[in-house]
Structure formats: structure tokens, C-alpha cells
Structure 1
Amino acid sequence: MGPVRHPVTRTPAVLGLYAAFGCLGYLLAGLGAILPELRAERDLPRGEAALYPSAFALGLVVVGLLGHRAAARLGRHALPAALSALVGGAAILALGDGRLGTGAGALILGLGGAGLVQLVPAALRADGDGGAVAIGEANAVSSAASVLAPLLVGAALAAGLGWRAAFAGVPLAAAAVPVVLLLRRAAVTATAAPADPGGRAPRAFWNRWADLVLAVAVEFCVLFWAADFLHTVKGLESGTATTASAAFVLGMALGRSAASRAVRLGEERLLIGAPAVAAAGFAVFWTVPQPAVALAGLLVTGLGVALLYPLILAAALEEWPDRPGRAAARCALASGVAIGTGPPLLGALADLAGLRAASLLAPVLLLVLLLRRVLSAR
């Protein structure tokens, strides 16, 4: 019999956590939406354009290794500081002059995003239900916000406004509310906890950690390269391709909005069924030449991918309950490893063999994850 899932208490502090994750989702999807524009502006090969996600991933790695100590020092200010770094990095990326400024913005954005990846799930475990439902709802908010990013970037491009206002302006305005909520509510216990004394993670935690790397790598390979694929392979105009790539995050938003009901099916069933659904959707997206049918496949891919991250993350945190801060930091490290290797590898392969062939990296990772879960269930 599995653990009892208690209802989530949606206090103002919890809603602030959800809103902070919403800003993160918007900017991550926005980073994928603007990659074709950055490539065109600076005449970059795909491998070099992928360095911007790599800079973001470097921030995740730094926080994954050291974030639990920084959170203990900052206390109640850790979450507002992370959110401020997130949106500040986005502004620097948008306004930075040259590759150095843009890369620095991506790094700062990554540091802030990694702080949220570390702190928000741990805070939800302490402040509410603490399981897959609360984390799933936060990710549903993040996914819903991420749907807006390619739509607004595409609309800004179509209107001749450029991508910068949609990418950086919207989250800068939206971040004010969660910052105020999180500053006023110091009761988010995960940020106020003292530094843990260390200790080795259980073997079961590292098993979940490896699954998390695979799931996040798939998610970001599709997120960062879907717009380019739709433009290069499916032949859509650049702005239209950016807007149409929202099908993936729309599928993720729909999947994560059903998290509280889906978990009743059982974690292992979902972790076997979800990768299979995502792989089937990707097969349609990759093979069918008609854009409308391909977009339906992309949406199904998002539905399949949607629950992988919140389910695996919640399971990983449960495997190391006596060190929540360190466990959350190591999970942020998993995201950094995934984002720092998956999308850049896909970009490098695309420069060598073409984007169509390189994009098969995503279903290969899905199949590896599926095989691991099938063997684990047995």
C-alpha cells in the first residue's frame, strides 16, 4: 500500500512558490523560443547556440553542489534572491551586448533558476502535502506559464517588436507578486533550516537521480530545439514555428494539471506508461510531414513527458528524507547535468548530421528511461 496523499494547503506562501515556478517555466520555454533568433542575429552554428542553455546549466551545477549552504546562510531571503536572480539574468541576457554579456545573463538566470529548483520542492514538502501532488501542481503552474512564452515571443516577432520585450519584460513585471509574498511569509521552513551535517545519500536516491537526469534531458532537448525543428525540417516560417512549438509545453501543462488525479494510478505505472506515450508522440512528430499532424504528435510528446519530472523528483526527495536541503540541491545538480549535456549534444550532432537525425536523441533517452523503470518494477 502506497503512502497516503493529503490535500495540499494552498496558503499565500504556497501560492507564492507556485508563482515563482511560473516565472521559471516562462523563461525556460522562452530561452528555447529565442534560440533560432539568437542564431540568426549572430550567425551561430547550433553547437555554439547551445552554449546558452549550457551557461544556464552551469548555474544549476553550481547550486546543486553548493546551494544547500547558500540557502542556510540566506534563510528567509533565499527564495526572493533566487527569483530576483532569475529575472535579472533574463534582463541581462536580453540587453547584453555580445556573446559575453548574453552568456553572463544566461549564467545568472541559471543560478536563480537552480535556486528555485532546489528550494521550491523542498519548501512544498515542508509547507504542504510534501509529495507528488504539491510538486506536480507547482510544475503545472510552471508549464502553464511556459505555454505563454513561445506564443508571446512569436507574437512579438510577428508584430515587428523583436523577441526581447516578450522574453524579459513579461517575467520582470510578473515576478513582483511572488517576491512580495515570499518576503512577507518567512514560514517556508525549507529556507530557514540550518545547514545539514552531510552524510552519504542512499543508493536508492542515486537511482532516482539517474532517472531524473534522463527525464530532464528529454524535456529540454525537445523544449530547446522544437522551434528550430519545425522551421528547418517541417518548413514553417520562423515566427510561426516559434508559436507552434507551444504545442509541447501545452501538452506538458495539460499533463501536469492532472497530476493530482494521475498519481492515483500508481507511481511505477505512470513511470512506465508516460515514457511510452511520449515516445509514440515523438514518432508522429518526427515522421509525419504534415505540420498539423506533427504538432499533434508534439502535443502528445508533452503529455507523456509532463509527469516524469515531478514524479521522479518527489520520489528522489522521499529516498533521502533526513537531508531535505542536500537532497534538493543534488536534484538541482541532476537538472544541471541534464541540461548541460542533452541539448548541447543534440546541437552538436545537428551540425554534423542534420537536425532531423540528431533529434532522435530524445526518444533514445526516453527508451533508456523506460527500460530502467521496467527492470526496476520487475
Structure 2
Amino acid sequence: MGGIGTPRRTSGTLGLYAAFGCLGYLLTALGAILPELRAERGLPRGEVALYPSAFALGLVVIGFTGHWAAARLGRLALPAALAALAGGACVMALGGGRLGSGLGALVLGLGGAGLVQLVPAALRAAAQPGDGTIQIGVANAVSSAASVLSPILIGAALAYGLGWRAAFAVPPLIMAAVLLLVARPAAPREAETGKEASGVEASEPAPRAFWSRWLDLVLAVGVEFCMVFWAADFLGDVKGLGSGAAATLSAAFVLGMAAGRAASAPVVRGAGRPDRLLAGAALVGVAGFAILWASPAPLAVAGLLVAGLGVALLYPVILGQALGAWPGRPVRAAARCALASGVAIGVAPLALGVLADAITLRAAVFVAPALLLILLARCARRLRPATNR
């Protein structure tokens, strides 16, 4: 990958990293509370999986309309996304019944999708020249580090009989308030969003290389969120851990992702072709899933950690490649990448949950490594011409 340099840490980029941290916290928090929602309301897994699907619907909406909204909101786009993220979490925690929780998850998804769209585009703009892969990797490392906290805090709250609600909503609400009142996260450059607003080159089609990476993104995000949303339930139902311990130890997956993304800069620089890096990461992820599935509880947690290490670099590397494949339309490209995340989060975890109701969760978890193997095959196909020269 050419043009990769040291990430510039201005106050604006630090604000972007912190905003992604809020998102990471809430994504794993949503997974950690699914067993509690299922127990509170007596729901099957297929129905409780509709809460992540409501979140994913927000991503899909932004995927189609986000470039338009960002162009019209301008500098208010990032604050609006942060406010929606924190507000959705509060509605989900305080809203009564299925409708209130579903509405909160949808608003949370709209805010999260706004961040997924705006933060990578802003980081890539700040990284010029270059594709922003390292900067996006740092943002995802911060997100993963924050995501480690939510299962731990929710697990501790459950262990002490405090319930999940305060641990779910209060920490990201405080961070979002600080960012909105004090920090000023950088937005994508006005020239880029202005071009979107005016319609100049609005009809420019996405290159074929972009759609290839878009499909890779669907696969990678699907794997990630199958585990983010179902790891706690898997440890409790299949490995026999209590609810508090299962919620806490499910953090092993995002801990592995945080560690992998923290080391992203030297790994990306030294890996050469991105598909070679992606193939190696997918193999590590498959090995982690094998340990998770075949081992008793203590070693299964180690398998979650290894799987997280493998999955860690998939999203930032693929996202950097996707944005680099459509450099003339960064905001539109980021919106389409948010759509990819929405499709993945809306389909893969729901399919796993429905399949778990139909057979068993122990068997249904194979959805995740199957997606990894498809991604591995796609990377191998792209690498084959280079190896045959």
C-alpha cells in the first residue's frame, strides 16, 4: 500500500477517534444485553436478534441517504450523529417494551451509521496523500478498546444485581456530551461535501473495484457482529457460564480486536499486498473459531481472543481499500460502506439467531467461520495472478 505515513493526531482527529469509541462501546454493549433482553421478555433468539437488525436498518438508511444528509448538515453532521447515538442508547435503556427498545436501537443505528460514514471519510481526507488505512485502523483500535469496557461493566452490574441499563447508556452519554460541548471532531472537507450537495459528478458510477471491496466488507462485518452479538449467549448457553461471567468474558473477542488494531500500523506497512494480509487474518480467525467451538469454557475464551485478533484488521484494511477505490466521491463511498455494514449486521446475526432457534446455537455459530472462508477464497483468487507470474 503506497502513501502510508504516521497518523496525524490533531484535536480534530482525536475527537474523531473518541466518537468512534462511543460507537464501539455501544455495539458490544448491545450484544452483551441480548441475553438479558431475551430473559426479561421471554423471547426466542430469532426475535431478540431484531434489535441488532433495527440498528442495522439505521445503517441501511444512511447508506442510501447519508451523503445527501451530510452535504446539507455540513459541520452539524457529526454532532447530529453523536447526539443520535447517545439518544438512541438512552431510549433503548429507558423505553418500555419492545417498541421502545426497537425505536432506540433504530435511532442508535442512525447515529452510528452517521459516524461510520463521516469518520473514515474525514480521516482519509486528513491523511492525504494516502488511503487513510492506518488512521482508520487507529480509529477502530480506539473503538475496540472502548468496546472491551462495555461487557465488563455490564457483567459487573449484573453480578452485583444492579441491572444492565445504567452500564449500557451512561458511559457513552457522558463521552458524547463531552465531545459535543468541549471537543470539535473534524468533519470531511467542505469542498467534498459541497460537491455532493451541488450534484456535480453525482452520477459518477462506483468503480468495479469498489463493489468488490464492498462485498468483502459485508463478509468481514458479518463475521465481526455475529460474535459481538452472540458471544455472550454462546458462552452462557453452550459453555455453561453464568450470565455475569458470560457477559464479562465475551469481552475477550473485542479485546483481541483491540490488540490487533492497536498493532495495525506496523502490520499494514509490512504486509505488502492487502489481500495477503486479509488472507492471513482470515486464517487466524478460523483457527480461533475452531478453539472456541471445540474447547471447554476457559480455553474457549482464549479461542474468542484469537478469533478477535484475526478479525481485527479485516474491517479497517477493507474499508481503506474501498475508499481508495472511489477517491473522487469520498462521502458517497463512505455512505455505501455504511450500507455494507448495515446489510451485514442486519442479515448475519439474525440468520445465526434464527438458525440457533431451528437447530442449536452450538451448530449455528458456524455462520461466522463460513463467512471467513468465503472471504479467504476471494482473497486467494485475487492473489493468484500475482503468484502465477
Which band: TM-score by shorter chain? over 0.9
What letter matches 1:333 in structure 2? Answer: L
Paired with 1:25 and 1:193, the residues of 2 have a C-alpha distance of 25
Name the CA shift for 1:320/1:296 in 2 (closer, same or farther; >3 Å): same
Name the CA shift for 1:294/1:271 in 2 (closer, same or farther; >3 Å): same
Q: How many residues align?
A: 375
Paired with 1:181 and 1:14, the residues of 2 have a C-alpha distance of 14
Q: Which string of whole-angstrom CA distances, capped at 9 and with x for unpartnered residues, describes residues 184-218 of structure 1?
A: 46664269721252321000100000000000000
Q: CA deviation at 1:50?
A: 0.2
1:369 aligns with 2:375: yes
Any residues of structure 2 matched to 1:213-252 within 5 Å, and which?
A: 213-252=218-257
What SS does the corresponding residue of 1:6 show, helix, strand or coil?
coil
What SS does the corresponding residue of 1:175 show, helix, strand or coil?
helix
Match of 1:346 in 2: 352
Q: CA deviation at 1:181?
A: 5.0
Match of 2:163 in 1: 162
Paired with 1:17 and 1:188, the residues of 2 have a C-alpha distance of 11
Q: Which string of whole-angstrom CA distances, capped at 9 and with x for unpartnered residues, describes residues 61-89 of structure 1?
A: 00000000000000001001101100100
What SS does the corresponding residue of 1:199 show, helix, strand or coil?
coil
Paired with 2:41 and 2:191, the residues of 1 have a C-alpha distance of 40
Q: CA deviation at 1:33?
A: 0.2
Match of 2:93 in 1: 94
1:284 pairs with 255, 266, 291, which one?
291
Name the CA shift for 1:191/1:14 in 2 (closer, same or farther; >3 Å): farther
Q: Which range moves more in the overlay, 259-268 or 187-196?
A: 187-196
Match of 2:308 in 1: 302
Any residues of structure 2 matched to 1:1-378 within 5 Å, and which?
A: 2-128=1-127, 130-180=131-181, 184=184, 188-189=188-189, 193-194=193-194, 195=196, 196=199, 197-264=202-269, 265-266=271-272, 267-288=274-295, 290-378=296-384
Q: CA deviation at 1:268?
A: 2.1
What letter matches 1:274 in structure 2? Answer: A
Q: CA deviation at 1:253?
A: 0.2
Contact kept, 8 Å, 1:17 with 1:178, in 2: the verdict is no
Structure 1 gap ranges (5+): none
Q: CA deviation at 1:269?
A: 1.8
Contact kept, 8 Å, 2:81 with 2:112, in 1: the verdict is yes
Name the CA shift for 1:186/1:316 in 2 (closer, same or farther; >3 Å): closer
What letter matches 1:341 in structure 2? Answer: V
Contact kept, 8 Å, 1:30 with 1:167, in 2: the verdict is yes
Q: CA deviation at 1:175?
A: 1.2
Q: CA deviation at 1:158?
A: 0.8
What letter matches 1:287 in structure 2? Answer: A
Name the CA shift for 1:105/1:31 in 2 (closer, same or farther; >3 Å): same
Contact kept, 8 Å, 2:20 with 2:142, in 1: the verdict is yes
Contact kept, 8 Å, 2:192 with 2:329, in 1: the verdict is no
What letter matches 2:3 in structure 1? Answer: V
What SS does the corresponding residue of 1:193 show, helix, strand or coil?
helix
Paired with 2:246 and 2:185, the residues of 1 have a C-alpha distance of 41
What SS does the corresponding residue of 1:113 show, helix, strand or coil?
helix
Name the CA shift for 1:245/1:186 in 2 (closer, same or farther; >3 Å): closer
Contact kept, 8 Å, 1:67 with 1:115, in 2: the verdict is yes
Match of 2:387 in 1: none
Q: Which string of whole-angstrom CA distances, capped at 9 and with x for unpartnered residues, describes residues 146-196 of structure 1?
A: 0000000000111111000000011111112322355x4666426972125
Contact kept, 8 Å, 2:121 with 2:188, in 1: the verdict is no
Contact kept, 8 Å, 1:16 with 1:181, in 2: the verdict is no
Contact kept, 8 Å, 1:75 with 1:193, in 2: the verdict is yes
Provide the identity percentage. Answer: 67
Name the CA shift for 1:229/1:185 in 2 (closer, same or farther; >3 Å): closer
What letter matches 1:175 in structure 2? Answer: A
Contact kept, 8 Å, 2:276 with 2:379, in 1: the verdict is no
Contact kept, 8 Å, 1:122 with 1:190, in 2: the verdict is no
Paired with 1:187 and 1:277, the residues of 2 have a C-alpha distance of 35
Normalising by structure 1, we get a TM-score of: 0.97
Contact kept, 8 Å, 2:279 with 2:376, in 1: the verdict is yes
Name the CA shift for 1:49/1:186 in 2 (closer, same or farther; >3 Å): closer
Give me the CA root mean square deviation: 1.3
